[in-house]
Amino acid sequence: MVNRLEIHSIWSGLVQAWRVIWQDAADPQRWAAFAPHCDRLMVLARQQGLTRIEGELLPLLQLLQGLTNPDEEDKAIVDRLLPGVFAAVREVCSESYEQEARGTSMPVLVMLVRQASAWQELIQQMEQYGYTLKVFANYRLGMQAAITARAIAVVVELGTEEDASVMMLIDELNRYGPKWFALAREANFALRLEAVRHASQGFFLTPLSAPTLADAVDPLTFKIKEEPYRVLILDDSPTVLASIRKALNQFPTIHTQTLRQPEQVLDVMGEFSPDVLLLDFHMNGCNGLEVAKIIRQNKNFESVPIVYLTAETSEYVQLEAMRHGGDDFLTKPISQAQLVNTVISKAERYRGLRKLMVEDSLTGLYNHVKTKTLLQQAILMAERQQSTVSYAMLDIDHFKKVNDTYGHAVGDKVIRALARFLKQHVRRADVVGRYGGEEFVVVFFDSTPEASFEKLDEMREAFAAVQHTYDGGSFAVTFSAGIANFPDLATMGELVVAADEALYAAKRAGRNRVMKPGE
């Protein structure tokens, strides 16, 4: 089976090493640091029979083997070869992911503990969180099982002092297996320090609850695949456009589009949705400052970072441009390293701000405003495709009693647990949002009313079995839900009202149930 994570890791190291060569393509030491990444990728490709990656890498390795006095021409050749390697890496990893998704059920976690029988309840609880937990008292056997099953993570129980045999096992795990977390009945600084020195991802104290474990391993299991940063380049010089595009396009995390006509900028930005705009300051018929003012007058683009490309050195002009909507200046001729660093830093910040605007701070789900926008988009798409949309509203039963009995901090944990549960149990195409308080919404796209109802009812039953911990023990909660469907109801407003009325009907009928409009 193709090891996607190892391939991605090697490719990322290769790209980072290539960035360094930009700063000085004539430095043999920089090329010497780059070559081993290519060698490791070739070894892995041959071991796993990845013939396309092997074929794309071969001319690159041949070039590196014969390299004696590297220069800009050699760098240009590698620039042309790397996109083919990346395309092969992306294709292989995508195919591997699809095959794995079809062939696996729940991700596996492994625990290495002193007494396996004490963890039966946690095994059952982790099933409700979507994980298969395997517990071993024999540490060597458990480690081998973790590697064979390609476990997401391993939890290793430590003693109160360092155990040399356990640490040797962990070192072996770090070389060949998954990430690991430390577990102890009590912890002093020395033990925590030893765990960190052996690359632990976290430190748990017993008793270990299912929500705590799930929160820790979820980021390893459900890695979000970020879309490439979208960079729009507006410059009336075809030579500048070509050089900037060439510099950026060798990075798989950046996607570019070029434009020479300023009058088309709003239309192109609307279609392309750039994360960064690189804007020439001096163009025929207008200047970048004027274009920036036009862009900033459009609310859809008022926060998109604008980076000027200019030979202008006047401090007054630069300050004036920044005052009218600019975010940074890149002075021509532009250093490639500076170009890439500026683009990535601005794009990351922009996406981070957008994320804060659309996400609920407690749960990380879409907030109420964003959820309504996505619901409207789903309805419009369903109209075009003659498909269906189901809209469900959920409410945690007796949530005030939870806060009054266990405290608001525990209540927040319950809200986060339901948010995570819902997100894990729906499809990637579906939408989960927090409506407010203890209310949530789920949008099922292209799912029949019957299938959506059954799925929601299955989730209700499964969540009722989840235990939520507090200092004195644990408890369970339930939720009620109402669900309505498009095109049975023709507008978003009708859909929301109908689901809301069905939810309150479920509450009146005794809670812990899913109901449809009119029931």
In the predicted model, is pLDDT for residue 415 greater than 90?
yes
Check if CATH label 3.40.50.2300 holds for domain 108-221: yes
Q: Which tokens in the block code for residue 470?
A: 């507090």
Which CATH class, in words, describes the domain spanning 4-103? mainly alpha
In the predicted model, is pLDDT for residue 374 greater than 70?
yes
Q: Please name the residue that has the structure tokens 């480690």.
A: 143
Least confident of 12-21, 51-60, 508-517: 12-21
- Any bridge partners for residue 391, and if so which? 443, 484
How far is Cα 488 from Cα 438, in angstroms, rounded to an integer? 27
How far is Cα 502 from Cα 395, in angstroms, rounded to an integer? 11
How far is Cα 415 from Cα 419, in angstroms, rounded to an integer? 6
Burial class (CB in 10 A: 0-12, 13-18, 19+), 79: middle
For all residues of the chain together, what is the average pLDDT? 86
Least confident of 350-359, 428-437, 444-453: 350-359
Cβ neighbours of residue 179 closer than 8 Å, sequence gap 6 or more? 152, 153, 154, 201, 220
Burial class (CB in 10 A: 0-12, 13-18, 19+), 109: buried
Check if CATH label 3.40.50.720 holds for domain 230-356: no
Q: What is the CATH number of domain 368-515?
A: 3.30.70.270
How far is Cα 444 from Cα 94, in angstroms, rounded to an integer? 25
> For the segment 201-245, what is each residue's pLDDT rounded down to a tens digit?
999 999 898 888 988 888 888 766 667 899 999 998 898 899 899
CATH 3.40.50.2300 range(s) for the chain read: 108-221, 230-356
> For the segment 179-207, what is each residue's pLDDT rounded down to a tens digit?
999 999 988 898 999 999 999 999 999 98
What percent of the chain stands above pLDDT 90? 38
Give Dmax over CA atoms of the chain in angstroms. Answer: 81
Q: Which tokens in the block code for residue 408?
A: 């608001």
* E strand map for 345-458: 389-396, 431-436, 439-445
> For the segment 287-339, what is each residue's pLDDT rounded down to a tens digit?
888 899 899 888 878 889 999 887 766 777 777 767 767 788 887 777 788 88
Residue 159, number of CB atoms within 10 A of its CB: 12
How many helices (H) and strands (E) in the chain? 19, 19
Cis peptide leading into residue 228 (ω within 30°)? no
Q: Please name the residue that has the structure tokens 């200019």.
A: 310
